[in-house]
């Protein structure tokens, strides 16, 4: 059925509207639900929402989880990051104001809002916004392939998602290689990529095991983390010598007592060689 179509006079006279010539923009416009229409009708000020809101709505719509420990790099481009940092800096200014800190006259607090925004996106939470480090795999399938256990110690810096306090420690990653090997530094790169988010140590241990399995194709993995937590040291119970240990064992590391023992013996030897 053909519907009546009244052309817009601004394009009708000498430039008739030909539908085929136009393409939808492919962009979506978001208006905050509770304020959108009112804002447009009321003070005439239609305010474009924050980019972060648009990204959050998109993730919600697509059922993408975006907890503090989740990687959301496929939703955030490098160009977006700049805008997100600007918006976060503005929000941190409000936080400082609410904390009654004079960010106009205190020279040490002047650029703090922006420093915080940059630090979250580019450093302490970088592992949320950056895609996985590429770990080139080398074949390990010749007759003299390496069949032993490999244990790599990786320094970790993370942040607890409950208090945004630093978590600092080491992960010992044990693996029995499958048909490919990745460079030694890649284990640490992957571990740090997982750590530079808001995490729980238990969750972090799982994340590292899963990502190492993904990039090595090995099903025999052990991850042991020991770390101190700022939220226990600097506040709350103020426990200065608290140490949290977590272990995730997969495949032979879990099922074979010999492999499990070798892993923990290796950790002990590493700690004797170079205590942290
Ligand atoms: Zn905490």
**Could you identify the residue written with the tokens 């239609």?**
46
Q: Give residue 63 CA to ligand 1 midpoint distance, Å.
A: 27
How does 212-237 read in b/e, with b if 16+ C-beta sit within 10 Å?
A: bbebbebebbbbbbbbbbbbbbeeee
pLDDT of residue 43: 43
Neighbouring C-beta atoms of residue 71, cutoff 10 Å: 19
* Average pLDDT taken over every residue of the chain: 88
In this model, does residue 46 exceed pLDDT 50? no
Main-chain dihedrals φ then ψ at residue 135, nearest 5 degrees: -115, 95
pLDDT digits (tens, 9 = 90+) for 257-272: 999 999 999 999 999 9
Q: Rounded to an integer, what distance in angstroms lies between the CA atom of residue 254 and that of residue 174?
A: 12
Q: Give residue 128 CA to ligand 1 midpoint distance, Å.
A: 18
pLDDT digits (tens, 9 = 90+) for 161-209: 999 999 999 999 999 988 888 999 999 999 999 999 999 999 999 999 9
Q: Which of 167, 169, 182 is nearest to 214 (CA)?
A: 182
Q: Rounded to an integer, what distance in angstroms lies between the CA atom of residue 276 and that of residue 263?
A: 18
Q: Give residue 162 CA to ligand 1 midpoint distance, Å.
A: 5
Pairing of strands 166-176, 221-229: antiparallel
Q: Rounded to an integer, what distance in angstroms lies between the CA atom of residue 206 and that of residue 246?
A: 10
Q: Which of 230, 249, 237, 196 is nearest to 69 (CA)?
A: 196
Question: Under a CB-based contact definition with an 8 Å cutoff, are residues 130 and 193 in contact?
Answer: yes
Question: Under a CB-based contact definition with an 8 Å cutoff, are residues 213 and 182 in contact?
Answer: no
As given in the structure block, the two tokens for residue 265 are 């013996």
Q: Give residue 68 CA to ligand 1 midpoint distance, Å.
A: 13
Opening angle at CA 54, ends 50 and 58, nearest 5? 165
pLDDT of residue 37: 45
Q: Give residue 57 CA to ligand 1 midpoint distance, Å.
A: 28
Q: Give residue 196 CA to ligand 1 midpoint distance, Å.
A: 15
Q: Give residue 172 CA to ligand 1 midpoint distance, Å.
A: 22
Q: Give residue 167 CA to ligand 1 midpoint distance, Å.
A: 9
Q: Give residue 163 CA to ligand 1 midpoint distance, Å.
A: 4
* 122-138: average pLDDT: 93
Report how far Cα 48 is from the mean position of its chain's Cα atoms: 26
Q: Give residue 65 CA to ligand 1 midpoint distance, Å.
A: 21
Q: Give residue 207 CA to ligand 1 midpoint distance, Å.
A: 18
- Could you tell me the maximum CA-CA distance found in the chain, to the nearest angstrom? 86
Q: Give residue 245 CA to ligand 1 midpoint distance, Å.
A: 15
Question: Under a CB-based contact definition with an 8 Å cutoff, are residues 174 and 150 in contact?
Answer: yes
Reported as a pLDDT band with limits 50, 70 and 90, residue 117 is very high
Reported as a pLDDT band with limits 50, 70 and 90, residue 242 is confident
């Amino acid at each position: 059925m053909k519907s009546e179509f009244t052309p817009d006079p601004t394009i009708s006279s000498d430039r008739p509207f030909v539908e085929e010539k136009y393409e939808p923009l492919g962009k979506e416009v978001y208006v905050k639900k509770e304020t959108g229409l009112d804002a447009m009708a009321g003070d005439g000020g239609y305010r474009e929402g924050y980019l972060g809101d648009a990204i959050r709505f998109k993730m919600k719509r697509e059922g993408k989880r975006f907890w503090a420990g989740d990687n959301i790099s496929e939703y955030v481009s490098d160009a977006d990051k700049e805008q997100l940092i600007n918006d976060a800096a503005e929000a941190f200014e409000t936080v400082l104001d609410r904390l009654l800190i004079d960010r106009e006259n205190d020279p040490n607090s002047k650029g703090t809002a922006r420093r915080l925004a940059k630090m979250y996106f580019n450093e302490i939470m970088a592992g949320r916004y950056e895609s996985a480090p590429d770990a080139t795999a080398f074949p390990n399938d010749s007759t003299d392939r390496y069949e032993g256990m490999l244990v790599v110690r990786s320094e970790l810096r993370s942040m607890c998602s409950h208090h945004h306090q630093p978590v600092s420690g080491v992960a010992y990653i044990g693996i029995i290689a499958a048909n490919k090997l990745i460079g030694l530094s890649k284990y640490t790169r992957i571990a740090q990529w997982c750590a530079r988010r808001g995490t729980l140590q238990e969750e972090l241990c799982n994340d590292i095991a899963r990502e190492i399995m993904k990039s090595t194709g090995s099903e025999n993995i052990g991850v042991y983390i020991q770390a101190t937590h700022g939220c226990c040291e600097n506040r709350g119970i103020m426990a200065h010598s608290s140490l949290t240990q977590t272990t995730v064992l997969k495949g032979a590391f879990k099922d074979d007592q010999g492999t499990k023992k070798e892993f923990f013996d290796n950790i002990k030897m590493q700690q004797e060689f170079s205590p942290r």
